[in-house]
Structure 1
Amino acid sequence: MNKPYVIGIAGSSGSGKTFFLKSFLNHFEANEITLISQDDYYIPANTKTREENRLYNFDLPTSIDREAFFCDIKDLFDGKTILKEEYTFNNPNIKPKVLEIKPAPILIVEGLFIFHYTEINALLDYRIFIDAEESVALKRRLNRDLLERGYDHDDVMYKWTNHVVPSYDQYLLPYKDICDNVLINNTDDPILIHQATNIISDDLRKKIQ
Structure 2
Amino acid sequence: MIIEALDVPWVVLLSMDSFYKVLTEEQQILAARNEYNFDHPDSFDFELVVSTLKKLKQGKSVKIPTYDFTTHSRTKDWKTLYGANVIIFEGIMAFANAELLKLLDMKIFVETDSDIRLVRRLRRDISERGREIEGVLKQYHTFVKPAFDQHIQPTMRLVDIVVPRGSGNTVAIDLIVQHVHSQLEKAPPTCYSHNAVDSHD
- Same topology, TM > 0.5: yes
Query: 1:124 matched to which residue of 2?
Result: 104
Is 1:28 the equivalent of 2:4? no
Q: CA separation in 1, counterparts of 2:91 and 2:163?
A: 16
Given that 2:109 and 2:156 are in contact with CA atoms closer than 8 Å, whether structure 1 keeps it comes out as: yes
Number of aligned residues: 181
- Higher relative CO (Cα under 8 Å, sequence separation at least 6) belongs to 1
Task: Determine helix, strand or coil for the equivalent of 1:86.
Answer: strand
Give the CA RMSD over aligned residues.
2.4
Further displaced range: 169-178 or 193-202: 193-202
Given that 1:45 and 1:90 are in contact with CA atoms closer than 8 Å, whether structure 2 keeps it comes out as: no
**1:134-145 equivalence runs, <5 A:** 134-145=114-125
Query: 2:131 matched to which residue of 1?
Result: 151
**2:152 paired residue among 161, 172, 182:** 172
Is 1:163 the equivalent of 2:143? yes
The alpha-carbon deviation at position 149 of structure 1 amounts to 2.1
**Aligned residues: percent identity?**
27
Is 1:208 the equivalent of 2:188? no
| 1:102-124 C-alpha deviation (Å, 9 max, x unpaired) | 11122222222221100001221
Q: CA separation in 1, counterparts of 2:67 and 2:30?
A: 19
Given that 1:88 and 1:96 are in contact with CA atoms closer than 8 Å, whether structure 2 keeps it comes out as: no
Q: CA separation in 2, counterparts of 1:58 and 1:49?
A: 10
The alpha-carbon deviation at position 130 of structure 1 amounts to 0.9
Q: CA separation in 1, counterparts of 2:157 and 2:109?
A: 9
| 1:67-105 C-alpha deviation (Å, 9 max, x unpaired) | 11111111123321012232221348x967532211112
Task: Determine helix, strand or coil for the equivalent of 1:172.
Answer: helix
> Residues 177 and 115 of structure 1: is their aligned pair in 2 closer, same or farther, counting only changes over 3 Å?
same
> Residues 158 and 104 of structure 1: is their aligned pair in 2 closer, same or farther, counting only changes over 3 Å?
same
Query: 1:51 matched to which residue of 2?
Result: 29
Query: 1:16 matched to which residue of 2?
Result: none
Given that 2:16 and 2:90 are in contact with CA atoms closer than 8 Å, whether structure 1 keeps it comes out as: yes
Is 1:111 the equivalent of 2:91? yes
Structure 2: where are the runs of 5+ without partners? Answer: 186-201
Q: CA separation in 2, counterparts of 1:205 and 1:163?
A: 38
TM-score, normalised to structure 2's length? Answer: 0.79
Given that 2:95 and 2:158 are in contact with CA atoms closer than 8 Å, whether structure 1 keeps it comes out as: no
Structure 2 counterpart of 1:72, one-letter code: T
> Residues 81 and 172 of structure 1: is their aligned pair in 2 closer, same or farther, counting only changes over 3 Å?
same
| 1:161-182 C-alpha deviation (Å, 9 max, x unpaired) | 1111111111111121332221
Structure 1 counterpart of 2:183, one-letter code: K
- The runs of at least 4 consecutive aligned structure 1 residues that moved more than 6 Å come to none
Is 1:184 the equivalent of 2:164? yes
